[in-house]
Amino acid sequence: MAKNVLVLNGPNLNMLGKREPAIYGAQTLADVEALCRAAGTVFGLSIDFRQSNYEGELVTWIQEALGTADGILINPGAYSHTSVAIYDALKAVALPVAEVHISNIHQREAFRHHSYVSAVAFGVICGFGTLGYRLALEAMAEKLK
Ligand code: DHK
């Protein structure tokens, strides 16, 4: 049976396609969702794809993943660098977590170099553009075998 993966996107990722295209590329969030659904079909995963600009909503969705999802792929956006609440929620549910950043956060401002989420992720992908979502889903499928 297909494993369920909750794909979470944090603040400003709804602006993909319009937002700093030199950094984040031309693809929209709808394009990323389509890419994830296609990867889900290839890797045998059922995809629940969501985005929120609100930290608390992301925390609630992570909590609700307990019992409904087998793994979480998360691009926490700017909350990567600030949110102990998201870190705590991911730690609480103890599901496999793959962290994705579209840009290479290590090549950017110093405040982007640290992610709270990385400490609870089994793997981190950054700098490969939206392809990172597909790579992370492939890694998640292997993890969930
Ligand atoms: C997305 C954001 O919104 C930024 O705040 C992060 C990340 C990087 C990304 O590359 O996908 O710093």
pLDDT number for residue 76: 98
Cα atoms in the 13 Å half-sphere on the side-chain side of 127: 8
CA–CA distances in Å: residue 44 to residues 1, 78, 81, 91? 8, 30, 31, 25
pLDDT number for residue 1: 83
Number of domains within the chain: 1
Is ligand 1 within 6 A of the CB of residue 74? no
Is ligand 1 within 6 A of the CB of residue 25? no
Which residues, in sequence order, are CB contacts of 21 under 8 Å at separation 6+? Answer: none
pTM: 0.98
Contact status, residue 139 vs residue 123, Cβ threshold 8 Å: yes
Q: In this structure, what CATH number is given to the domain that contains residue 129?
A: 3.40.50.9100
Mean pLDDT of 20-40: 98
Mean pLDDT of 108-123: 98
CA of 50 to the centre of ligand 1 (A): 16
User: Which structural domain range is residue 136 located in?
Assistant: 3-143
Mean pLDDT of 70-94: 98
Which atom of ligand 1 sits closest to the CA of residue 23? 10
Q: What digits encode the pLDDT tens for the residues 51-72?
A: 999 999 999 999 999 999 999 9
Share of the chain above pLDDT 70, in %: 100
pLDDT number for residue 39: 98
Mean pLDDT of 43-49: 98
Task: Give catalytic residue positions.
Answer: 24, 101
Which atom of ligand 1 sits closest to the CA of residue 103? 10
